[in-house]
Amino acid sequence: MLLGWNDDLNWNTLILEAATEVKRRVTHLVGTNEGRRSFGIGAGGDTTRKIDKAAEEAIVDTLNYQCAAPL
């Protein structure tokens, strides 16, 4: 068991919440120069764009918020 893991977690709800948060954070960036702005090179060697970074942060933030059990 992971320290701080929430055993009552509903995976379907978590995935839906993460997807909803990604949509909220990237909708205004789709097809724009701002969304295509480079943030450097990702771990796989590809260019990280602002829209990529926003989506990744939305997922990580959702996981951090929803998966942490209250201490």
User: Is residue 49 in some structural domain?
Assistant: yes
User: Is residue 36 in some structural domain?
Assistant: yes
Write out pLDDT tens, residues 37-51.
998 998 899 999 999
Token pair for 43: 């771990």
**Total domains present in the chain:** 1
Provide the residue range defining the domain that includes 61. 11-67
Name the band, by pLDDT with cuts 50, 70 and 90, for residue 66: confident
- Concatenating the DSSP letter of every residue in 15-71 gives HHHHHHHHHHHHGGGTTSHHHH-EEEE-TTSSEEEHHHHHHHHHHHHHHHHHHBPP-
How far is the CA of 7 from the CAs of 19, 43, 48, 62, in angstroms? 21, 31, 33, 16
User: Is residue 5 in some structural domain?
Assistant: no
Write out pLDDT tens, residues 22-37.
999 999 999 999 999 9
User: Is residue 42 in some structural domain?
Assistant: yes
